[in-house]
Structure formats: structure tokens, C-alpha cells
Structure 1
């Protein structure tokens, strides 16, 4: 009877050892998995840190580029404003100082030509201004000559003769004066340019003077 009991005890012991060994294997596998997961998490965290650093660097570079672009745009706007201001100043300077448009204390401020409603009729306006510091009366006369071609041959006409009725263009002013002429172009006459001469009478303050100005006829059509 002792042998069966011994066998049973041996079997129980073997089963217990097997259970303990199996449990140990499971524990080891679990520990290995946990270690692998920890390594994976650590690697992921390292990768995230690198990505965050790259993102921060990229954001910094983008902010720097945006700031540089804003600075360049501001400089371009400043240069544009300065260029416009210089052009305006140059235009004013040319109007005041242009020797071909002023003499005897007077300057030709504007010569304007525009078509009228009737075909072949035009209006010519001349604006005269005094540039002398001490404003005195200025007087004299204008001569407007239309230069071009008549039926293919060179030709010219005096604006005073084209007015209805024909009359001389005279001026007398202290500050400024606008002279207007309404004319009809002769049939077949093609205008190329206008030649303006202003003859200023001399007085005790100013010597007699003459201003000559040429201006191309605008592309308005001649009929």
C-alpha cells in the first residue's frame, strides 16, 4: 500500500513543479513584453521630442521669414512713396523753373486742346501766370501757329485767322489769365503741332520778352 501513495505524491509534486515552471515562463514573457513596450514608448517619446524641436525650429524660421518679408514690403512702400514725392517735386520744379516756358516775369502754365461737338471744330486754351515776386501788370499778345500738311504739302495756319471773326490774341493780367480760341480746321489740313509765341511788352519794371513753346497736336482727329 505504500507504493501507490508514493506514486500519487510524486505525481502531485511533478504537477506542482510543472505549474510553477509554467507560471515562471509566463512571468518572464510578461516582463519581456513590458520591457519591449517601455522601450517602444521611450523611443516614441524621443521621436516626439525630435519632432517638437523640428516644429519649433520650423516655426521660428517661418516667423523670421514673415518678419523679413514685412520689413522688405515696408521698405518697398517707403521707396514708392519717396519716388512719387520726388516725381511730384520734379514736376513742380519743372513748371516753375523751365526756361522755355517763362520769361519777363511770366510763364505759360498750360496749353490745352480739346475737340468740340461739331466735327472739325476745336477749342484751344492757354493759361498764363506771373512768376515775379512783386506782382505787376503784364500785357502783350499771343501768336498761335498750327503746323502740319495740306493735301500732302507742308502748311501752317495762324489760329487768330481761323477764329470767327478773326481777332488778335492779347493779354493783360496781374496774377493769371486764360485765353481761349474756338477754331475750325481747314478742309484737308492735318495738324502735327502747335507753336505758341508770347510777346510781353516792356515797362519800367520788366524788359520786353518772348516765350516760345511747341506742343504736339493731340490724337483727337482733324475732322
Structure 2
């Protein structure tokens, strides 16, 4: 697998992931796409499973001066999650990161409100919830999202992605009832390296996917 792309784009990743997930029996399944990049993948999965689709939002908390280097993550309403090993390595404290965490929480709330577009939050209780992302790297953002989903008392929570780092997927088994990845390449460095087309997903893309599937379900 080294040196080659595994998926053409997120839709292709969704088709491959749906094949894996469709082998199971689900109870009143709900598919949550982790915005933004997980939503196009989740839409394909939801169509294949005949499941309801909705959106989940978690925001990475970046290190000072290195916003792309995540030290933690936060959802609109859940607790802040930090990677304690990274915090110690960078000599950071939760108190120092608190302003950045609140900025990201505010952005998460803004995005969720926009994506829901007036729709009520889905019922999670007693359902099999499948949280879908386009890939798993460190796992800190997925951890925040999974813990938030747990508060809704679902029957089970499964985290699913087309590709993931082996260490991240193993670690997330402490948070999810199961983790499903199509590919876990040993030479994983970044999610984007495993897609031929990994263009950024915009807010408009997310809204278009959710509205289109909503029309089909109606």
C-alpha cells in the first residue's frame, strides 16, 4: 500500500466504507458525519444503509503559533479534550489553552447551528450511532465527538473512516464500541496522502449534502 493512493475521493471512500458497514445488522441506525470532511463520506454510508443522516461538529485546538498542530478538541457543548502527552511535551497547561478552547467552542456552535439550519437535533437514545470521518490521524477530535455522542445514551457508538493511523484506531477503542477502517496503512503520515482528490470541504458542500439527502428521505 505504500506510496499509492487508496481512494479516488471522499465519495469513493464512503462507498468502500459502506461495504464494510453493510455487513452488520444495525438497530435504528443514525449516521453522523463529522464536519466538514466526514459529511460527504457519511452521506454515501447513510444512503447504502438506509439510515438517517445528520452532522457532528468537533473543533481542533491548535498549539500557540501552530494552529494546525492539534493539542486538543472541543464540541459545541461537551468537555474540552486534551492530549496530555502533547501538552506536557510543549510545556502547555489547560489554563493557558482555555481562551483558544473557548474560541473553538464558539466556532463549533456557529457551524452546528448553520448546518442544522433550524432542524432539531436527532434522537440518539437506544439507536446504533455511526460517527463517520474521512480519516483518523491523532484521534483527539474523534474522541471529543464520541464523548459528546455518548451523552445522548445511544445503544452503541461505532467510529468509522476509510483510512486511519493504526495507533489512533487502537486508542479509540476505549471511546467507541468499535472502530471500523477500510485501510490502516503502517506508513500513515496524513489522511490526505491516501486520497487522489482531497480538496477542502466547504460549509456550502456540507449544507448541499445534508439538504439533498434530506429531500431524498422526505
Query: TM-score when scaled to structure 1?
Result: 0.24
Structure possessing the higher radius of gyration over alpha carbons: 1
Query: TM-score when scaled to structure 2?
Result: 0.24
- Greater relative CO, 1 or 2 (CA 8 Å, sep 6+): 2
Structure whose residues are more often strand by fraction: 1
Structure whose residues are more often helix by fraction: 1
